[in-house]
Structure 1
Amino acid sequence: MNNVSRLRYFIYLSLIILGGCTTGKNALQKGDYDVSVSKAVSRLQNSPKNGEALAVLKTAYELALKDHLRKIDEAKLSSNLFKWESIMYDYQKLNQLADEINSCPACLSVVPAPSKYVNEVAESRYNAAVFRYNSGVAYLNEGNRASAKKAYYEFEKVMNLQPNYLDVKTKMDDAYWAAVIKVVVQPIILNRGPYKFSADYFQQQIDQFIGSYSRNKFVVFYGEEQATNQKIVPDQILSLNFDDFVVGQTYVKERVEKLKRDSVIIGETRERKPVYGTVKATLSIFEKHISSSGLLDMTIMDWRNKKVIRQQKFPGTYVWRDSWASYKGDDRALNKNQLAMTRRKEIAPPSPGDLFLEFTKPIYSQLVDDIGYFYNSY
């Protein structure tokens, strides 16, 4: 077979494969009748006289109709209380296929009256809502948090099916508050003068976190003042306190280096020729470290039985650094970096309040991660 013949063969083969895919023939052979109908409709919208697509559509729709009606009949005979949702889905799928065919004039030549089941969808939707509602009420009547969560999700499904069914909105709200864990967060008490403002700022960050917490809808945080004003009876108390903290521990280290450099021009002769020699200097390098650190205790207590259910401690450290240098002798013995260091002056460190805030940053990150991890499972 020459190259031209081989090329024609592959083009012909590709067209056969492509035609089979786009007309829905392959999907039909695999028993995927819904997909086969959709592909045939799509092909006929672009190529109304495609004979293969017309044949595929006629066969695929008949089989899809029989398949969905069979599933519906089997579901109706089932003892499964939640069968109406699957019944509704099958009716909806048949309506979708009918809409696709009705949007294609060429398709109506082989399927002139695709069946629609509008009333059947409405009836199955209503029945599904009834059974979900009754299931939610049964869960809610069990009177425990785990069942209240299940009830909430059942009522949520009712809302999606029949938003105005009986008192579902009220029941959903009742289930939610029966499932919610109410956590009151006690503020950090810190009255030590220069740090009070910074501690208040740290507390504000925590308040912002708990105020915007949304990882678990069944956990609600309250500030202590908010809980008092709203007369909230908590399920848990989350308290935060610094076990200890130290701000501004200062360490200054001096390192002395003897420097010399050879072959440096140190003068010139009468004939104005350079004179080379060795220059020396003593370099003193100063390094200042100001360390601040603290340890935050988080305790979560069950309000009813007064038992601690979680306790974690979060450390935080911040070290502020500065360095400068001075020298004695000939500055030509210093390299560029050493000379630049000697031109630096000792700078004033951050205020105690700023140092406090810096060491609380890693504490805050650990704290919010731990709170999120702990309450994700509720």
Structure 2
Amino acid sequence: MENVSRLRYFIYLSLIIIGGCTTGKNALQKGDYDASVSKAVSRLQNSPKNTEAMQVLKTAYDLALQSHLRKIDEAKLSNDLFRWESIMYDYQKINQLADDINSCPACLTIVPSPSKYITELADSKYMAAGARYNSGLGYLRDNNRLAAKKAYYEFEKTLNLEPNYKDAKAKMEDAYWAAVTRVVVQPIIVNSSLYKLSADYFQQQIDQFIGKYARNRFVLFYGEQQATEQKIVPDQVLSLNFDDFVVGQTYVKERVEKLKRDSVVIGETRERKPIYGTVKATLSIFEKNISSSGLLDMSIMDWQTKKLVRQQKFPGTYVWRDSWASYKGDDRALSKQQLAMTKRREMLPPPPSTLFLEFTKPIYSQLVDDISYYYNNY
């Protein structure tokens, strides 16, 4: 019986707590008047005669309205350049409270005419847009790339507030082009017909990367031919050159092992009983490594000052490997793996053009990572 009584007590207590949460009472006690109104409205939509929700709604709405109007008056008296955004936010909250109440018939019996500030909201939004617009003009007058970026974002905020505000679209476009860094990427020159196709493929990968680059809207890459055709005056020139590369350095190593195995059947007696003995063999293992490597230099130069602003070097190596073996003696002295190796024959290595392409793969990964790192937040 004691357990039953205790269970009833906890159920009763839980219902009180849940009721307080769903009617907005707890939010009201914590001073979160907007949340309190929202919870009370939600409860009255589902339970129109809930007495506690009615009481909460009346009190919470009056306090919420007073709170937002007080914040609006305080903001109007402040010197904050962007105070109209705060004012706009509070008018939006007041209007949202009114919309919530108007969507609930039971709520309208408690708050018959919730206040809405439609004209005031529109005016504050227009004033907020004007503040952002003037801020953008100020940054544009500074006449430098970083200030132009700030101006761009200010005009963007202006248009988010008022899509047709004055000439904000044109000013945003002006700010963008004043903020953009134009980077011309010079092609890699490899003075060897043997590697021309592979070098061209490597260049195509780089061209694809810069063509798809979109992480930083204020950095535009151009290939050299594209820049010439469009008469682009670069801000920076990115040059790529191989300091050195070696293709097809061949190393062959031979390792000789003396093998023997005991207790191997080497014959039979006249009575057909096995004769055990030791078998021997000499195993020669050949390992061929063909190494190809190179070092790519990346330099970024400021076009106006002709000063080097960044230089990095990226190494790349590729090693092609082959192995085979031969033996002399009794093959029973060899393990299965060793015997399988003796059945292999020396393979033809890839052509030089393929070896060239392989050692550029790690170089490409390092290169695009570094370009991204440098320009993503430029």
TM tier, smaller: over 0.9
Aligned counterparts of 2:263 and 2:48: Cα–Cα separation in 1? 95
1:145 maps to 145
Q: How does 1:4-15 map to 2 (within 5 A)?
A: 4-15=4-15
> Residue by residue, what CA displacement relative to the aligned partner does 1:84-135 show, whole Å, maximum 9, x if unpaired?
1111111111111222222222222212222222222111111111121122
Tell me the number of residue pairs that the alignment of Structure 1 and Structure 2 aligns: 378
Q: Counterpart of 1:170?
A: 170
**Superposition map of 1:1-378 within 5 A:** 2-378=2-378
Question: Distance in 1 between the 2:116 and 2:91 partners?
Answer: 8
Distance 2:37 2:143 in 1: 50
Segments of 4+ in structure 1 off by > 4 A? none
Distance 1:267 1:105, change over 3 A: farther
Q: Distance in 1 between matches of 2:310 and 2:127?
A: 45
Cα distance in 1 for partners of 2:274, 2:12 equals 90
Provide the secondary structure at the position in 1 that maps to 2:157: helix
CA distance in 1, matches of 2:219, 2:230: 17
SS in 1 for 2:112: coil
Looking at structure 1, the residues matched to 244 and 145 of structure 2 have their Cα atoms a distance apart, in angstroms, of: 38
- Equivalents in 2 of 1:259, 1:6: separation in Å? 84
Query: 1-side partners of 2:188 and 2:229: how far apart?
Result: 19
CA distance in 1, matches of 2:346, 2:13: 81
* Distance apart, 1:254 and its partner CA: 0.9
- Provide the TM-score with structure 1 as the length reference: 0.97
Higher mean displacement: 65-74 or 17-26: 17-26
| Secondary structure class of the residue paired with 2:40 | helix
Q: Structure 2 regions of 5+ residues with no counterpart?
A: none
State the SS of the aligned residue for 2:92. Answer: helix
**Structure 2 counterpart SS, 1:222:** strand
Distance 2:327 2:175 in 1: 76
Query: After alignment, is 206-215 or 105-114 more displaced?
Result: 105-114
- In structure 1, give the amino acid aligned to 2:40: A
- Of 103-112 and 91-100, the range deviating more from structure 2: 103-112
Stretch deviating more after TM superposition (33-42 or 4-13): 4-13
Q: Which runs of 5+ in 1 are unaligned?
A: none
Helix, strand or coil at the partner of 1:4: helix
1:244 deviates by 0.3
Distance apart, 1:2 and its partner CA:
2.5
Q: Distance in 2 between matches of 1:335 and 1:189?
A: 51
What letter corresponds to residue 80 of structure 1 in structure 2? D
**CA-to-aligned-CA distance 1:146-181 (integer Å, 9 cap, x gap):** 211111111001110111112111110100000111
Q: Which amino acid aligns with 1:245?
A: F
- The structural deviation recorded for 1:5 is 2.0
Q: Which amino acid aligns with 1:237?
A: V
User: Aligned partners of 1:128 and 1:5: how far apart in 2?
Assistant: 61
Distance in structure 1 (CA, Å) of the matches to 2:223 and 2:144: 25
CA distance in 2, matches of 1:227, 1:113: 64
- Alpha-carbon distance, 1:270 to partner: 2.3
For 2:195 and 2:70, the matched residues in 1 are separated by 74
Which stretch has the larger CA shift, 266-275 or 239-248? 266-275
CA-CA distance at 1:322 after TM superposition: 1.2
Match of 2:176, SS? Answer: helix
**Cα deviation per residue 1:313-363 (whole Å; 9 max; x = unaligned)?**
111111111111112222221112112212222222111111111111111
Q: Matched residue of 1:369: which SS?
A: helix
Per-residue deviation, 1:228: 0.7
Q: Which amino acid aligns with 1:191?
A: N
Give, in angstroms, the shift of residue 240 of structure 1: 0.4
